Amino acid sequence: MSAPQASPAPARSLHQRIRDDIEGRIHSGQWPPGHRIPSEHALMAQYGCARMTVSKVLSLLADAGMIERRRRAGSFVARPHPHIEQVALDIPDIPFEVAARGHRYQFELLARQLRKPRRGDAREAELAGQARVLALQCLHLADERPLALEDRLINPAAAPQAVDVDFSQTAPGSWLLQHVSWTRAEHRISAIGVDAARARLLQVPTGTACLVIERRTWRGEQPVTCVTQVFLGDSYDLVARFSPGGR
């Protein structure tokens, strides 16, 4: 009836130790991809614990993608999807990132328009249904030097207050991050040689290699914002850390 711990304070909890054990067997190759993991009943007996404890472990491992669970069949070490891997990529807030690298951040609003969505523009296709869009172009500078050019569209229907914000003082990305929540985002990352117009604004020769991040966010089915950021490629990096299984 009572529920005494196996040991008073195992430092690492029981389900953590079980998880470590199973992960160890998988990573060491002792349990290769496709290998059938003992059933919950078997593990329960093996570790001398309640079924719920091993069940929790296996559920977490399944969430993390390390194992697959099938009713009646059992749990199996996941075959790593051979063609796709996911990494957690940090999409940084530019002002913060610049400051973190010890540079002075500045921001310039180059253009602001509240206008109808343009037809035929791929970037604006998502927003075609809206009456108006708020279009902003701005420049991010680090130590007085241009770092990135940002073209942003904001859907006023999703962020009504945005229309009244003075974006000459606040970077729109930072403002949105703090004031508008979203439920889905998509990013495309590519490289371009900058066209003449952008080159002039970035004060580099036409054709200079730049990193392009295109980001779209939605709140439910409603588009919130769509932004294209063009970074000077040699002065900006994206960094992704990853441990497989998400944890």
Partner DNA sequence: CAGTGGTCTAGACCACTAT
Partner DNA sequence: TAGTGGTCTAGACCACTGC
The residues binding a second copy (CB under 8 A) are: 27, 29, 80, 82-93, 96-97, 174, 177-178, 181-193, 207-212, 219, 231, 233-234, 236-244, 246
Q: For residue 236, give the H/E element and its range.
A: none
- Give min distance, CB of 243 to DNA, in A: 19
| 113 versus 242: smaller Cβ distance to a second copy | 242
Distance CA 171, CA 187 (A): 19
Q: Which of 23, 40, 97, 150 binds DNA (CB under 7 A)?
A: 40
Inter-residue long-range contacts of 193-197, CB under 8 Å, 24+ positions, other chains counted: 194/230
Q: Which does 50 bind (CB under 5 to 8 A by kind): a second copy, DNA, none?
A: DNA
Question: Quick one: which of 1, 84, 111, 122 contacts DNA (CB under 7 A)?
Answer: 1
If binding is defined by CB under 7 A, does position 53 make contact with DNA? Answer: yes
Contact with DNA (CB under 7 A): which of 29, 48, 82, 120?
A: 48
- Cα-based distances in Å from 208 to 36, 152, 164, 234: 53, 22, 36, 10
In the region spanning residues 218 to 237, those forming contacts with DNA, defined by CB under 7 A, are none
R_g of the chain computed on alpha carbons: 25
State which of residues 26, 58, 171, 211 lies at the interface with DNA (CB under 7 A).
58
Contact 51, 205 (CB under 8 A): no
d(CA 225, CA 136): 11
Neighbouring residues of 60: CB distance < 8 A, sequence distance ≥ 6: 19
- The amino acid that residue 14 corresponds to is L
Q: Looking at residues 62 to 121 of the shown chain, list those that interact with DNA (rule: CB under 7 A).
A: 62, 69-75
Instruction: Tell me which of 27, 51, 179, 187 binds DNA, using CB under 7 A.
Output: 51
Q: What is the DSSP string of 100-161?
A: HTT--EEEEEEEEEEEPPPTT-GGGGGGTTSS-EEEEEEEEEETTEEEEEEEEEE-TTT-GG
CA angle at residue 146 from 143 to 147, to 5 degrees? 90
**Residue 85 vs 131, nearer CB to a second copy:** 85
Residue 115 interacts, among a second copy, DNA, none and using kind-specific CB cut-offs from 5 to 8 Å, with none
7 binds DNA (CB under 7 A): no
Enumerate binding residues for DNA (CB under 7 A): 1-6, 8-10, 13-16, 37, 39-41, 48-53, 55-56, 58-59, 62, 69-75
